[in-house]
Chain A
Amino acid sequence: MKEPILQIKNITKDFPGVRALNNVSLELYEGEVLCIVGENGAGKSTLIKCLSGVYIPESGEIILDGTPMHFKKPEDSIKAGFSVVYQEHKLILNLTVAENIFFGRFPLLPGGFIDYKKLNSDAKNILNQFDMDINPKKLVSTLNSSQSQMVEIAKAYSRGARIMILDEPSASITESELKKLFEIINALKKEGKSFIYISHRLVELFEIGDRVYVFKDGNNAGNDEIKNVTIDRLIAMMIGRELGKSFKAKDRPIGEELLRVENLSNKLVTDCSFNVREGEIVGFAGLVGSGRSEMIESLFGYKRKTSGKVFINGKEVHIKNPRDAINHGLGFVTEDRKTTGVILNQSVALNITFAILDKISKFGLINFKKDNALVKKSIEQLSIKTPSPKQETIFLSGGNQQKVILSKWLLTNSKILICDEPTKGIDVGTKQEFYTILDSLARQGKAIIVISSELPEVIGLSNRVYVMRHGKIVTELNENELTEERIATFSMKY
């Protein structure tokens, strides 16, 4: 048996009140892709941060090539050959691709000026080597998620990283972009690079992974060769029980048409028409950037629309801002938790009742009894894990933050609930809870719109699916027409 390139021995990391990692050990061999899975809060991110020098573990050893390492700051970790590609990319947006790749190591001309010719051609070489079709002179701010991810990988490669840690690399890229990413990973594997790959999307692990470690509540819950495990087995290890069926049967009673949108256009989408009926879950599929979110944002009055009509219960309504939308019974669980979902530096309680303060106050004074009762009920109803309602929302895990957003919109009693990527970056257990909630809301007669890039999710939930491409709705698929192939075909070529 080969010697492992990296050995982690009995690492323990404590935070006030919780043990985030408990005696975790693992080995990584040269040229392998090691997957780590686990629910939110299982300790995956903490482990990465210990490896990248952001956290210093209380005890345990990190042994690289037989030498114990003591990372005090991220620089130490980078020097040792680690490189982390985070979910939120850490590139400098107002610099070019080439400048980012060689940041801090610019080739210089005599006199200290940057040799841009060499910089750009060096960057081009690296990008070409892995078939990354990106212009090195482009500003990073103009790239999409997948491209910035590639730039991060190119940057790590150029710095001579031996161990690349990918944190949720598939969270915000499309299927075809993921294929591309896998090609790059495989090419790098051949050069002897090792990967730690973290993802909530279990299916893809079987395509790219060699071995898998399962984390649960900061502990190692087992590890095995990928070829020896099944998805069900992984899920059972992660949540400590077998997961039931993900999606409920779509035998929901369908009622009258609640929402009809005619020829909605804005800067990015043109002539979108669709409708949703009571008790229906309607999906919107399409590639990232196909205009799904932009269209919905215009419907909700968040972004300006240039033309189009909206009818609710058959009557035309004019929605100029989110307030109008809420008054007409719309709710909007937005895609990006941090920027448009929750107020991170405010309490869980404030966030939960934030959209219904009108209802629980008289002459502008908040009725705290009602407020506290509603907060308590919401926390119990969605089993939001928080030490107290007063906790700042930033300290909750992603899945629980998502639940806070959902509970905010459940309280508004919206008849039409829009969910934009409702399960992005949250674990399987919580995902299933979300599916159950959405199903039961539809059963109560609400109309639900779900935008999702995860095809099994759109298919499993929706009665009908609209597929968008280049800012247009290209087709409407009925329940019996819903297959991954069909949706993928329509979203990529018409």
Chain B
Amino acid sequence: MNIEMKKLIKKINLSAFGSIFGLMIVFIVATTLTNGDFLRMQNMLNVFRQVTILGFAALGMSIVIITGNIDLSIIGNISMTTVITAVLMQRGVSTPMIIIIVLLSGMLVGLVNGLILNFWKIESFVVTMGMQVLCFGMALLISDSRTVIVDGMQLLKYPLLTGISQWRITLIPRVLVVPSMFVILLLFYLAVYLFTTRTKMGRYIFALGGNEEVSYISGVNVNTVRLVAYVLSGMMAAIAGIFMFSRSVAGDPTAGSALGMYVVAAVVVGGTKMSGGKGSVLFTIIGIFIIGSINNILNLINAPYQFQQIVQGIIIITAVVISSPRRR
């Protein structure tokens, strides 16, 4: 085989299909290690539930990372919005109002991130990290530093918000049953995928990550593009917050911290470049499955928590290493 062919094959393997291969390997290893338990319907339902919340967070993060920025406030935002959901429910606010208020709170966080970055030339890393801490603080303030428990009778008044994480949808009878919230996640991924690839704003988002100066000179209002990215990210965090509540039917002010760096990890494992302008939200789905499945299998085989952390760390680094060019 000549050198050109080898290079070509190498390129295709690693960039486009790297994450797909990765996911297949994870599934095979998972099934083997757990004697097939991994693939059992009940467990897969669990995996789907786990990846849904991570999935919304990673979807927002993908958009922001494509613009060449980062949004570390997402996990704080999730904690805050999940607590807000619980508190509003305690007060008996109607379902549509809860959804509107929670979405707006999440988007407000994104809006503030975006505005600060538009006015001052600061690393988004720093601003959104501050915002993360602020949101965690808000979550504690709103919840009075306790997990917000909603009364059982009260919960019955909210069939949609409590049921959304419990209902199942049969995609292929006896083979593939998924939680309804996962279907919602897929719809959002499809919508955002079409948004990023088919619309003017989508192109501006990629272009902003590619070169802000060229975008500006070409007449793009780069500040608007940045705001759109961060507000969408805040909205996705709020949706994740609602599902977070729905899964546990309680508002835990520390809920978001469990996601930690997994959000960035899922995006990067999915092949989106941290430097901006390159990537696809569809590959982020694969990213969340890789991260989610590894977590799940480590639970199934009863690996101690510290061991789980180490394995996840290795996987993230390996994934990035495989998809990156050598420095020299």
A interface with B by C-beta (< 8 Å): 14, 16-17, 58, 73, 300, 302, 321-323, 325-327, 332, 334, 339-346, 350, 354-355, 357-358, 361, 364-366, 368, 408
Q: In the complex the two chains form, is A365's CB within 8 Å of B199's CB?
A: yes
CA distance A262 to B17 in the complex (A): 58
Task: Identify the interface centre among A327, A339, A345, A368: most chain B CB within 10 Å of its CB.
Answer: A345
Q: In the complex the two chains form, is B211's CB within 8 Å of A343's CB?
A: yes
Q: In the complex the two chains form, is B200's CB within 8 Å of A354's CB?
A: no
B219 sits at the interface (CB 8 A): yes
Q: Which residue of B lies closest to A353 (CB)?
A: B203
Which residues of A are found within 8 Å of B199, using beta-carbon distances? 361, 364-366
Which residues of A are found within 8 Å of B198, using beta-carbon distances? 365-366, 368
Q: In the complex the two chains form, is A343's CB within 8 Å of B215's CB?
A: yes
CB distance from B58 to the nearest CB of A (A): 22
Q: In the complex the two chains form, is A354's CB within 8 Å of B213's CB?
A: no
B4 sits at the interface (CB 8 A): yes
Asked, given contacts A73-B328, A334-B217, whether A366 binds B4 with beta carbons under 8 Å apart, the answer is: no
CA distance A322 to B216 in the complex (A): 7
Q: Which residue of A lies closest to B11 (CB)?
A: A16
CA distance A354 to B211 in the complex (A): 12
Pick from A323, A326, A346, A358: contact of B210, CB under 8 Å: A346
Q: In the complex the two chains form, is B219's CB within 8 Å of A355's CB?
A: yes
CB distance from B2 to the nearest CB of A (A): 9
CA distance A446 to B304 in the complex (A): 72
Pick from A323, A327, A357: contact of B203, CB under 8 Å: A357
Asked, given contacts A339-B213, A340-B214, A346-B206, whether A322 binds B219 with beta carbons under 8 Å apart, the answer is: yes
Which residues of A are found within 8 Å of B201, using beta-carbon distances? 364
Q: In the complex the two chains form, is B214's CB within 8 Å of A345's CB?
A: no
Q: Which residues in chain B, 1-33, are within 8 Å of chain A measured between CB atoms?
A: 3-4, 7-8
CA distance A340 to B211 in the complex (A): 8
Which residues of B are found within 8 Å of A366, using beta-carbon distances? 198-200, 203
Which residues of A are found within 8 Å of B206, using beta-carbon distances? 346, 350
Q: In the complex the two chains form, is A14's CB within 8 Å of B203's CB?
A: no
CA distance A14 to B8 in the complex (A): 13
Q: Which residue of A lies closest to B217 (CB)?
A: A322
Q: Which residue of A lies closest to B5 (CB)?
A: A16
Q: Which residues in chain B, 194-242, are within 8 Å of chain A measured between CB atoms?
A: 198-201, 203-204, 206-207, 210-211, 213-221
Q: In the complex the two chains form, is A364's CB within 8 Å of B216's CB?
A: no
Q: In the complex the two chains form, is A17's CB within 8 Å of B203's CB?
A: no
Which residues of A are found within 8 Å of B247, using beta-carbon distances? none
B277 sits at the interface (CB 8 A): yes
Which residues of A are found within 8 Å of B215, using beta-carbon distances? 343, 354
Chain B interface main SS type: helix
Q: In the complex the two chains form, is B207's CB within 8 Å of A323's CB?
A: no
Asked, given contacts A334-B217, A342-B214, A343-B210, whether A16 binds B203 with beta carbons under 8 Å apart, the answer is: no
Which residues of A are found within 8 Å of B219, using beta-carbon distances? 322-323, 325-327, 355
CA distance A491 to B125 in the complex (A): 46
B278 sits at the interface (CB 8 A): yes
Q: List 19 A-B contacts (CB under 8 A).
A: A14-B3, A14-B4, A16-B7, A16-B8, A17-B4, A321-B216, A322-B218, A322-B219, A323-B220, A327-B219, A334-B217, A339-B214, A340-B214, A344-B210, A345-B211, A357-B200, A365-B200, A366-B203, A368-B198
Task: Identify the interface centre among A325, A357, A368: most chain B CB within 10 Å of its CB.
Answer: A357
Q: In the complex the two chains form, is A354's CB within 8 Å of B4's CB?
A: no
CB distance from B324 to the nearest CB of A (A): 14
CB distance from B323 to the nearest CB of A (A): 15
B interface with A by C-beta (< 8 Å): 3-4, 7-8, 198-201, 203-204, 206-207, 210-211, 213-221, 277-278, 328
Task: Identify the interface centre among B8, B213, B214, B221: most chain A CB within 10 Å of its CB.
Answer: B214
Pick from A58, A73, A354: contact of B218, CB under 8 Å: A354
Q: In the complex the two chains form, is B217's CB within 8 Å of A332's CB?
A: yes
CB distance from A130 to the nearest CB of B (A): 32
Which residues of B are found within 8 Å of A342, using beta-carbon distances? 211, 214
CB distance from A402 to the nearest CB of B (A): 14
CA distance A345 to B221 in the complex (A): 20
CB distance from B57 to the nearest CB of A (A): 25
Which residues of A are found within 8 Å of B217, using beta-carbon distances? 300, 302, 322, 332, 334, 340
Task: Identify the interface centre among B210, B218, B277: most chain A CB within 10 Å of its CB.
Answer: B218
Which residues of B are found within 8 Å of A358, using beta-carbon distances? 200
CB distance from A55 to the nearest CB of B (A): 12
CB distance from B327 to the nearest CB of A (A): 12
CB distance from B328 to the nearest CB of A (A): 7
CA distance A302 to B220 in the complex (A): 12
Q: Which residue of A lies closest to B3 (CB)?
A: A14
Which residues of A are found within 8 Å of B216, using beta-carbon distances? 302, 321-322
Pick from B200, B211, B278: contact of A339, CB under 8 Å: B211
CB distance from A488 to the nearest CB of B (A): 31
CA distance A14 to B5 in the complex (A): 12
Q: Which residue of A lies closest to B201 (CB)?
A: A364
CB distance from A187 to the nearest CB of B (A): 35
Which residues of A are found within 8 Å of B328, using beta-carbon distances? 73
CA distance A14 to B4 in the complex (A): 8
CA distance A401 to B4 in the complex (A): 25
Q: In the complex the two chains form, is A355's CB within 8 Å of B218's CB?
A: yes
Which residues of B are found within 8 Å of A58, using beta-carbon distances? 3
CB distance from B199 to the nearest CB of A (A): 5
CA distance A322 to B218 in the complex (A): 7
Q: In the complex the two chains form, is B4's CB within 8 Å of A350's CB?
A: no
Which residues of B are found within 8 Å of A326, using beta-carbon distances? 218-219
Q: In the complex the two chains form, is B4's CB within 8 Å of A16's CB?
A: yes
Listed from nearest, the 6 A-B pairs whose CB atoms lie closest are A343-B210, A355-B218, A326-B219, A323-B219, A343-B211, A357-B200
Pick from B4, B200, B218, B277: contact of A345, CB under 8 Å: B277
CA distance A302 to B207 in the complex (A): 18
CA distance A326 to B220 in the complex (A): 10
Q: In the complex the two chains form, is A343's CB within 8 Å of B214's CB?
A: yes
CA distance A323 to B215 in the complex (A): 10
CA distance A346 to B202 in the complex (A): 13
CA distance A364 to B198 in the complex (A): 9
Which residues of B are found within 8 Å of A73, using beta-carbon distances? 328
Task: Identify the interface centre among B201, B210, B328: most chain A CB within 10 Å of its CB.
Answer: B210
Which residues of A are found within 8 Å of B4, using beta-carbon distances? 14, 16-17
CB distance from A17 to the nearest CB of B (A): 7
CA distance A73 to B278 in the complex (A): 29
Q: In the complex the two chains form, is A341's CB within 8 Å of B200's CB?
A: no
Q: In the complex the two chains form, is B213's CB within 8 Å of A345's CB?
A: no
Which residues of A are found within 8 Å of B210, using beta-carbon distances? 343-346
Extra contacts, 18 of them, besides A322-B219, A326-B219, A366-B198 (Cβ < 8 A), are: A14-B4, A17-B4, A58-B3, A325-B219, A326-B218, A340-B213, A340-B217, A343-B210, A343-B214, A343-B215, A346-B207, A354-B215, A355-B218, A357-B203, A364-B199, A365-B199, A366-B200, A366-B203
Which residues of A are found within 8 Å of B200, using beta-carbon distances? 357-358, 361, 364-366
